[in-house]
Every structure is written in C-alpha cells, then in structure tokens.
Amino acid sequence: MIEFKDVTKEYDNGTLALDEVNLKIENGEFVFLVGSSGAGKTTVTKILMREENVTSGQVYLYGEDITKISQKEIPYLRRKMGVVFQDFRLLEDRTVYENVEFAMRIVGASRREIRRRVPVVLNMVGLNYKAKMLPKELSGGEQQRVALARALVNNPSILIADEPTGNLNPKTAMEIMEILDNINQMGTTIIMATHAKEIVDVMKKRVVEIRDGKVVRDEVGGEYNVQPV
Amino acid sequence: MFNLSKVRYSVSQAKKNLIRNGLMSIASLFTITCCLLILGLFTVISINVNSYTEQMKDQCEVQLYMTNGITDERITQIGEEIVAVSNVKAFELYTREELYNYAMNDVFKGREELIGEYTEEDNPFSDSYKITLADISLTEQTVSELSKIADVDHIENKQDMTNIVLTVSNVVKKVSIVIMIILLLVSMVIISNTVRLTVFNRRKEINIMKYIGATDAFIRIPFVIEGVMIGIIGALLSFGMISWGYIALSKMYLNSGFDVVELVSYTQLAPFIGILFVLFGCLIGVIGSAISMNKYLKV
C-alpha cells in the first residue's frame, strides 16, 4: 500500500537526502526507520506527508502516486495519516481535550461525533482523567500521549512517528511504544523513524536502515544495529 | 467543503483568538480606529469644501446684454437662441424697464438726483439675460457661442471668480484623492504588520494545523473573521467619535455668529461616513490578515 519507487530527493542546497530508494510497506505493518542523523529517515516521512516532494521517482499510497497531487490535495492526503513528532507540537493554550478535538474540527466532524470519539481516544492513551489540563501541566510522556491521541482521533490508516520517544525517559518511552504497538495490533500501519536502540531491539519489528540516502538493510524482526558514521 | 460545523468553529475560534491575543487585538483595534479617524476627519473636511465649491459654482453666472432698440419679439427670439446653446442650464430675462424701475424705486429711492436726467424713455439700461451654466469650466466656449447671436451687445462673465472656484474645487479633489490613497496604503501597511505579528505569534498553531490536514481556507478564515471583527469594532468606534465631534463642532460653529458657510448636515453625512468606515474597516481587516498569512501557510 505504500511504495517508494526509485525515489531520489536532492534539496535545494545540493544535499542528496535519498538516492534511488525502493521500499514497500504493507497494510498493518510496523516499520522502524533507523540510521544515523542526516541519513534520510526524516526525508522519507516528509515525502509521505508531502511536506517535501521527490526530485525523481514515484511514491504510491493505496495505488495513487502522491508525488503528482496538487497543493490543494495535500491536506486531504495528510488526513489519511496521523503524525507524531519528537517535540509533541501541542497547542499550549488549549486543554488536552481541545488539542484532540482540534484534529476532528479540521476534518469537519460534527459536535456529536467529537463528543463521542475524543473520550474514547483519550481513554486509549490513558489520559481521560486529564482532559481538562493544559499541556504545560503534563509530563513529557503525557504530552506525547496527547499528541498520539490527536494523531489517532480521525482513525488514520497510517501513523507516522518521527522520533516520538526522543524527548522521553526510557520508562516513559516504553509506555508510548506499548500504546503504538496496541494501535498497530488494531490494524494501523506504523512508520517510526528512531534512534532508540533499546526500543528497536525489544520490539522485534521490521527494521529499514537508511545510510547516505540509500536503503542498506531491510530486515523483519531486526535489531537497531546502526554503525556510527 | 466548508460545512456549518466548520463555519461555527471558525467564528468561535475568531472570537476566542480576539480574547486570547488581547494585547495584539487592542493594538490592531487602536491602529484601525486611528486610521479611520484621520480618514473620517479628512472626508468630513473634503465633503464640506466640495459642498461649498458646489454652492459657489451655482452662483457663477453670465450676463448677456442686448443692443438697445430691438423689438420684444427679437428679445424672445434671442432667449430661444440662448436655450439652443449647449451648457446653458437656465436663463432669466431682465428688461431695461424692469432695471430702470428697480433703480428708481429701490436702489436710488429718495436720491433720484444721482441718476441724473435719465427718464424711462431715455433709459441708460439695456435688456439682458442672466444665464446660469451647467458646467462653469466651459464658460469661455459658451460665452464665445453666445456672442455669435445677433443683436448681442456684450457679455459679462465673472471669469476671475469662476477661475478661483474651479481652482479650489480641483485642488480639493486632487488633494482628497492623494490623501485617501496615502491613508489607505498607510493603514494597510500598519494593519498588515500588526496582523503579521499576530500570525507570527501563532505560527506554531498554523504549522500544527497544516500537519493535521487543515486546508489553507480553514486556517485562514478564523484570522480573516478576526480581522473583520476588529475592523468593524474600529469602524464603529471611530464613527461614534467623528459623529460626536461633528455634531458638537457644528453646534459651536452655528452659535459662533461667523457661520458664513453652510455646513453639510450630519444626517446627510452620517450614512456616507458610516458605510465608508465599515467598508474600509472590513477591507483592511480582511486584506491585512489574508496577506500576512501566506508565508506561514507554505508547509
């Protein structure tokens, strides 16, 4: 369902971020993108969200080449995905509930749907009791759980996580991974770019290693095993 | 598509943002109000000067004197020829008898010796037509056409006065347009900068919205509604201040004893200023917020 075909991405400053990348991800897979900093992991996620477009090659999502879609279609593409970032990116002046509700508002959900769905998702990430709190009143792990709830509230078929545990302590990071694993069990495809060796080693999922813009390893049940540059 | 739920959300967000960004909203409101106040002041002055020059224009007339000794039929005929000349708005006949009687019975009453030995038969006056022109800027051409009519002795026109009125009127018009454009540009720049600052403060929010899949319209509309709200509040505030000031100054002017020029009444002025303010307020609110957002929508 996701396929990168001979994808090359060269940034305006001349950096070659991806070099003839071929990658296929099936529905419901859990894939770790690993590699040292600047290897090209984040570029993969950015291309998937069409924050960046390819220099050459095609990227198919459910059979549609997303490198060809117009600027106007990008928001609708992004609605098929949930996104989680290392720095959470929550709206500081809105409560936990409002942060999650916000994602449903964007897609034009009715108030009834919102009232029904938001508590369910908050419950899924274990934050129902903190719905009225502001992000600054929460711990890092809790903030990331809010971000997860926001990413999941519109039932995306794909979840893209860019270093979601990067700002968390190991225990909290494992809690987040447990939630991600549960979400994956329910059928959501998860693509996670990470540097967290322990997590990758423990989870035993598919590991795709990128080095200098090329896929150098694609291993099911693999380990982190990234050689320092 | 923009459904009802999104519209409701956009309006509620705009209201919330107005309160959340209290200081910035007040700064924008203050700027719009000040710009509109200056615009209003200038518009009021400009409308009054224009009205005064229009009044003056109505008083610019041409006097056409006919040769003595022509028949009454010829005088009527000349009247018909005058009507045929383009740019003649109205005309009125003054017969030499009327003028003589007016002089004897009104102007020189009791001092008849001043008029000398003139009698009604030996009347020093001439028959004349007072002609009002439709467009005083064409006075010269009209006078030239009128002078071609047979039995016209001479034509008097207040060319100097006409020229002064025309010059004042033209200067006022040109200055009005220049000042309006300058004010419009200045307000746009100020508002656009104020909104840019607001948008900059909220760039994180806009960025997050883009990642979640919000369309540009969905992001832009609450900001635009916010701009319109500030614009309308600013328009109402400045309208209130201008109205209060105009009414108070009009009263003072009328009671001063120097009220030689007739001011345009407030009831005539209010609808124009009101509509101008609301339109202007909305326009700078909308354009200011829409333009300033472009940079942050490119994610």
Q: What is the pLDDT of residues B81-124, one digit of tens each?
A: 888 888 888 888 888 888 888 877 877 777 777 767 777 777 78
pLDDT in the model for residue A81 = 93
Mean pLDDT of chain B: 81
Give yes or no for residue B257 having a pLDDT over 80.
Answer: no
Least confidently predicted of A9-13, B35-39, B290-294: B290-294
Tokens of A175: 């809690």
Helix (H, G, I), strand (E, B) or coil at A202: helix
Tokens 């030689």 belong to B260
User: Predicted ipTM?
Assistant: 0.85
**Pairing of β A30-34 and β A189-193:** parallel
| Residues of A whose CB is below 8 A from B6 | 105, 108
- Torsion sign (Cα): B109, B114, B117, B120: negative
pLDDT on residue A97: 96
Backbone angles phi, psi at A32, to 5 degrees: -95, 130
Of these ranges, B165-174, B190-199, B241-250, the one predicted with the greatest mean pLDDT is B241-250
Task: Give the percent of chain A with pLDDT over 70.
Answer: 100
Phi/psi-derived region of residue A212, left when phi > 0, alpha when psi is between -120 and 50, beta in every other case: left
Check if the beta carbon of residue B133 is closer than 8 Å to that of residue B87: yes
Asked if B1 has any chain A CB less than 8 Å from its own CB, the reply is yes
- C-alpha to C-alpha distance for B212 and B155, rounded to whole angstroms: 81
Q: How would residue B299 be classed by pLDDT, with cut points 50, 70 and 90?
A: low
CB contact A76 to B (< 8 Å) = yes
pLDDT-derived band at B44 (thresholds 50, 70, 90) equals: confident
Confidence of residue B298 (pLDDT cuts 50, 70, 90): low
Residues in chain A closer than 8 A to B211 (CB atoms): 49, 51, 78, 83, 89
pLDDT on residue B295: 65
Would you give the distance in Å from CA B290 to the centre of its chain?
A: 30
Predicted confidence band at B137 (pLDDT cuts at 50, 70, 90)? confident
Residue A227 in domain: no
Rg (CA), chain B: 31
Mean predicted confidence (pLDDT) in B153-178: 79
Q: Does the CB of A150 have a partner CB in chain B at under 8 Å?
A: yes
Query: What is the per-residue pLDDT for B143?
Result: 87
Q: Are A44 and A33 in contact (CB under 8 A)?
A: yes
A128 vs B204 pLDDT, higher one:
A128
A121, part of any domain: yes
pLDDT > 70 fraction of chain B, expressed in percent and rounded:
91
Strand partners, B154: B65
Determine the average pLDDT of the residues in B203-212. Answer: 85
CB contact under 8 A, B3 and A51: no
* Topology of the domain covering B61-157: Alpha-Beta Plaits (3.30.70)
Q: What is the pLDDT of residue A229?
A: 65
In a domain, A94, yes or no: yes
Residue A95 lies inside a defined structural domain of this protein: yes
Question: What stretches in chain A show pLDDT beneath 70?
Answer: 229
Report pLDDT for B2.
56
For residue A113, the model assigns a pLDDT of 93
The answer to whether the Cα torsion of A136, A142, A144, A149 is positive or negative is negative
Q: Is B259 on the interface with A (CB under 8 A)?
A: no
What's the CA gap between B235 and B40, in Å, rounded?
10
B298 contact A CB<8A: no
Minimal Cβ distance to A103: which of B210, B212, B299: B212
Residue A124 inside a domain? The answer is yes
Q: What is the pLDDT of residue A132?
A: 96
**B194, B288 contact by CB (below 8 A):** yes
The tens digit of pLDDT for each residue in B213-242 reads: 988 888 888 878 888 888 888 889 999 999
A14 falls within a domain: no
Query: Looking at residue B191, what is its pLDDT?
Result: 66
Sheet holding A16-25, edge to edge: A16-25, A2-10, A56-61, A64-65
Show the domain range for A127. 89-155
What pLDDT score was predicted for residue A101? 93
pLDDT band at B274 (very low <50, low <70, confident <90, very high): confident
Mutant choice from A100, A105, A112 vs B, greatest count of B C-beta within 10 A? A105
Question: Residue A123 domain-assigned?
Answer: yes
Domain spans in chain B, listed from the N-terminal domain onward? 4-56+167-297, 61-157
Centroid of chain to Cα A32: 10
Across residues B60-73, what is the average pLDDT?
86
Distance set, CA A51 to CA A42, A223, B207, B217 (Å)? 11, 29, 11, 18
